[in-house]
Amino acid sequence: MQMRRQFIGPGFLIAVSMLLLCTNCSEQRPAPVDMGWCLSDHGDRISGGFELRNGRVIGVNLAEIRDDTDQSKLFALSDLEYLRLTNQAFRVIGAQSISKHFASLKDLNIRYEMNQEIENSTITFTEYQQLLTLPQLNKLTVELLQLTDERTAPSESSVSPVEHLDLALNLQSPLLPVLDGLHLKTLRLQLLRESRPLNAEDLKNINQQVDLESFTFFGPSLVSLSGPSDVQPAKIDFSRLKGLSRLQELSLCNVDFDPAGLTHLPQLKRLKIRECQLRESPFEVLFQHPTLEILIIQGCTNEDLGLKQPLSTVDSKLKQIDLEMVSLSELKMFANVNCDLYVTLGSMNSERCLERFFCSIGPSVPQLTELEYNQLSKLKKMSELKLVHNLPGRIDPAAILRFAAIPSLHSLVVKETNIEGAQGKFPRIQRNPRLQHLVLLTYPGPAPGVLNQLLHSELLSLSIRNNKYAERRPVNPWEGLEVVPLSQLQKLDLADFQFLRDASSIPEQFLPRSLKQISFEYCDLDADSLVHLIKRANQLELFHANSSDFVEDVDLRILNDCSDLKRIDLFNSQVPAEVAFQLKARHVRVGGAEMFSW
């Protein structure tokens, strides 16, 4: 049988040519715009910043704006997708200007910062309604919303298609006007100290958000406009929230509640309770929930949870329990639970100003002794251990080795802990092949004897800090380090490494072809350092530099040699704005790191 040859006519060729032409046009980047004004914050640190996607400005962070600032360059960014402002910056720009100039805005974040006067940082309900006229707004964060009895009627204007709402508010009048007309998937409500108590009508309004998948509620916080000095917990009856049949994530802080009421949330998979008290039903009822998989307990005592004896081993849907800000004496209550345990020892500070902890919990681990190790090693399936935030005194590096050897441990994080003066022999331990994620941000630097025993070829991520004292004499940071090839490493974080001063470079064993992410914090980087990095790990997808100095001979365009690079972060570094437009990564972020985490 003879096959017929298909004829390709001129029309088809023209169509293909047009398609290729359109494709090439779509890949062309827009001309750079002046963004230097965005980085010129007042003070001794950079807070503002901007983000590019394929060379186009899609996001801006502004921490401070003077009243006499020319805002025309900001308003010219009509295609802006997200805008992050402090209350001070919002007050200068105004809700009306935002709704007028940014029709493409999808994410608007207005946050309170500690250095601002709280009385002058509130946002009125009228301004809130004005923001809800943005035609494409999908996510809105507003801190210090004043919801008083004045002018809180539901808006007759068109309402934005907001699906994600995050509010910290002084609740005095009904909650209904805030939620009216919205169809939310995530909702976060935080009450200021002087807010009235949450009532049945408020719960009815929340219950009408039938599409809600995630709900976070903070009872009255420490932050106050002029209210009382004490903080009383909120009370929630979950039987009044039966309409939230799609809710999968629930986070509660400073709330008293009956855990049995959570059975009214049939799809709940993740529960976080922070400084809460359980009432009526025992803690054990949480193990009976038909869908609950992850439970996070933060800053709750045994008394808060109603625990008087260790929990029994029971079968449940729970796969993971996170215990944070708990003491070692409280851990024994969870020794027999039949799921993975993530344990955080030490005090924690929230990165969000309004999420300060209510109780004054000091470091929960005064020292790490054989007794503490034995308590931790008896926990079943302990998958992650964190020792964080300036535990008092010094930690014996031998204790770190013992913890790393716990057979079920797959992640160990040691941050802001002092191992100064660690010398001599370290106990020999068998390398733990399950340990895949290691963070040793100790000071004045990592002990080589610790790293030599913990690093193994199956490690997936590694974070280490060198001696952070800038005045010390130059020294080889890798001296005494017997580096094994980390052939599976995907993520490497380095802090306080002065490559130029110490005439050092990253060991080649730390730069396998598998490496996808690298981060530098408080490092100095010269051209040779970057050439060495790109030559060894040209499959990078993320390059992150925070508070790191680039010497004059560095041409950051060398990062363009990494064809797979998806994101470049240049935070808290004196990098000119125009440099960002010369980088070919899909996403480039320049400015202060803090506001990018909002």
Q: What are the pLDDT digits (tens) for 29-71?
A: 899 999 999 987 555 566 899 999 999 999 999 998 888 888 9
Question: Where is pLDDT greater, at 365 or 312?
Answer: 312
pLDDT at 226 over 90: no
Tell me which range, 95-99, 152-156, 393-397, 424-428, is most confidently predicted by mean pLDDT. Answer: 95-99
pLDDT at 19 over 50: no
52 and 80 Cβ atoms separated by less than 8 Å: no
CA distances in angstroms from 518 to 10, 193, 331, 521, 527, listed in the order given? 50, 42, 35, 10, 16
Q: Which residue has the tokens 């979950």?
A: 238
pLDDT at 586 over 80: yes
Reading across the β-sheet that carries 255-257, which strands appear in turn? 234-236, 255-257, 277-278
The DSSP letter of residue 16 is H
Question: How remote is the C-alpha of 302 from its chain's centroid?
Answer: 28
Rg (the chain; Cα; Å) = 27
Question: How remote is the C-alpha of 93 from its chain's centroid?
Answer: 27
> Can you give the pLDDT at residue 477?
78
Partner residues linked to 294 by β-bridges = 270, 320
Give the torsion through C-alpha atoms of 435, 437, 441, 445, to 10 deg. Answer: 60
Which among 296, 350, 298, 354 has a CA at the least distance from the CA of 167? 354
User: How do residues 91-124 score in pLDDT, each as one tens digit?
Assistant: 999 999 999 999 999 999 999 987 767 767 899 9
Sign of the torsion formed by the C-alpha atoms of 127, 128, 129 and 132: positive
Which among 434, 550, 545, 559 has a CA at the least distance from the CA of 492? 545
Min mean pLDDT across 10-14, 127-131, 249-253, 304-308 is at 10-14
pLDDT at 390 over 90: no
pLDDT at 373 over 80: no
Question: Where is pLDDT greater, at 212 or 422?
Answer: 212
> Can you give the pLDDT at residue 376?
81
> Can you give the pLDDT at residue 406?
87
Residue type, 156: E
pLDDT at 423 over 80: no
> Can you give the pLDDT at residue 361?
43
pLDDT at 128 over 90: yes
Max CA separation in the chain (angstroms): 93
CA distances in angstroms from 486 to 265, 282, 511, listed in the order given? 45, 47, 8
Q: Which residue has the tokens 């704006």?
A: 65
* List of residues 6+ apart from 67 with CB closer than 8 A: 92
> Can you give the pLDDT at residue 472?
64
Question: Where is pLDDT greater, at 523 or 367?
Answer: 523
For residue 579, what pLDDT band results from cuts at 50, 70 and 90?
A: very high
- How much is the pTM? 0.89
Sign of the torsion formed by the C-alpha atoms of 148, 90, 223 and 138: positive
> Can you give the pLDDT at residue 156?
60
Can you spell out the DSSP letters for 420-484? Answer: TT--S--------TT--EEEEEEES---HHHHHHH--TT--EEEEE----TTSPP--TTTT--PP
Tokens of 472: 């010390």
pLDDT at 392 over 60: no
For residue 26, what pLDDT band results from cuts at 50, 70 and 90?
A: very low
For residue 22, what pLDDT band results from cuts at 50, 70 and 90?
A: very low
Looking at residues 568-581, what average pLDDT do you find? 93
Phi, psi of 363 (to 5 degrees): -55, 130
Tell me which range, 19-23, 389-393, 443-447, 502-506, is most confidently predicted by mean pLDDT. Answer: 502-506
443 and 468 Cβ atoms separated by less than 8 Å: yes
Positions of E strands within 277-381: 277-278, 294-298, 320-324, 340-345
518 and 537 Cβ atoms separated by less than 8 Å: yes
% residues pLDDT > 70 (the chain): 84
User: How do residues 465-495 score in pLDDT, each as one tens digit?
Assistant: 887 665 666 677 788 888 789 999 999 999 9
pLDDT at 227 over 60: no
pLDDT at 353 over 90: no
